[in-house]
Amino acid sequence: MKRYDGLSEVSLIINNRERRVPVRPGDTLLRTLRETLGMVGSKMGCENGDCGACTVLVDGKPIKSCITLTLDAVDRSVTTIEGLEDEPIQQTFLDHYGFQCGFCTPGMLLNAHALLETHPDADAETVRCWMESNLCRCTGYEPIEMAIDAARERYRREGSRRR
């Protein structure tokens, strides 16, 4: 096990690019992204793992970056909202008005994207299990559910190409 103390430089793979960043052992991935790297798409909603606005993907799995140590992401692949480009879920969020104020949207999109990548055939119960970790105060969730339903077919179709 590698031991870190004080300020050290580590290598992170963020959105398929390698980034060298200074890190303290106690730094959270959210703070590193926002404050060290200026990647402010991930949002700070509670810093307690309760709201999901900070959700990013680590090796394709959604995690709450506000309660994840940056050091736990070393040598793993991190995907943030800045790395989500023209995915079907982004278009269906637009089509179905899956956001209003937009603050929960980056985390919501990454979670939904990972869900459909992992389970393109997800039933309503699976969708609920995944998505209930992300809070939205504006939409009442219905349009988000519709956006996920609408994107499902495209993830199914494109799944083979992606993997």
Chain residues in the site for other proteins (CB under 8 A):
35, 38, 40-48, 50-51, 53, 80-82, 84-85, 90-91, 93-95, 97, 99-106, 109, 127-128, 131-132, 134-145
State in angstroms the smallest separation of the CB of 31 from other proteins. 9
State in angstroms the smallest separation of the CB of 66 from other proteins. 10
Q: What ranges in 32-140 are assigned the alpha helix state H?
A: 88-95, 105-118, 124-131
State in angstroms the smallest separation of the CB of 124 from other proteins. 8
**Angle, CA 134 vertex, CA 81 and CA 159 arms, to 5°:** 55
State in angstroms the smallest separation of the CB of 130 from other proteins. 9
What gap in Å lies between CA 161 and CA 36, rounded to an integer? 34
Spatial contact of 12 and 68, defined as CB atoms under 8 Å apart: no
Q: Which is nearer to other proteins, 132 or 153 (CB)?
A: 132
Q: Which is nearer to other proteins, 1 or 142 (CB)?
A: 142
Q: CA 33 → CA 29, 36, 49, 93, 102, distances in Å?
A: 6, 6, 16, 24, 19
Spatial contact of 147 and 98, defined as CB atoms under 8 Å apart: yes
Q: Which is nearer to other proteins, 93 or 155 (CB)?
A: 93
State in angstroms the smallest separation of the CB of 1 from other proteins. 26
Q: Which is nearer to other proteins, 14 or 144 (CB)?
A: 144
Structure tokens at 80: 């943030």
Q: Which is nearer to other proteins, 82 or 158 (CB)?
A: 82
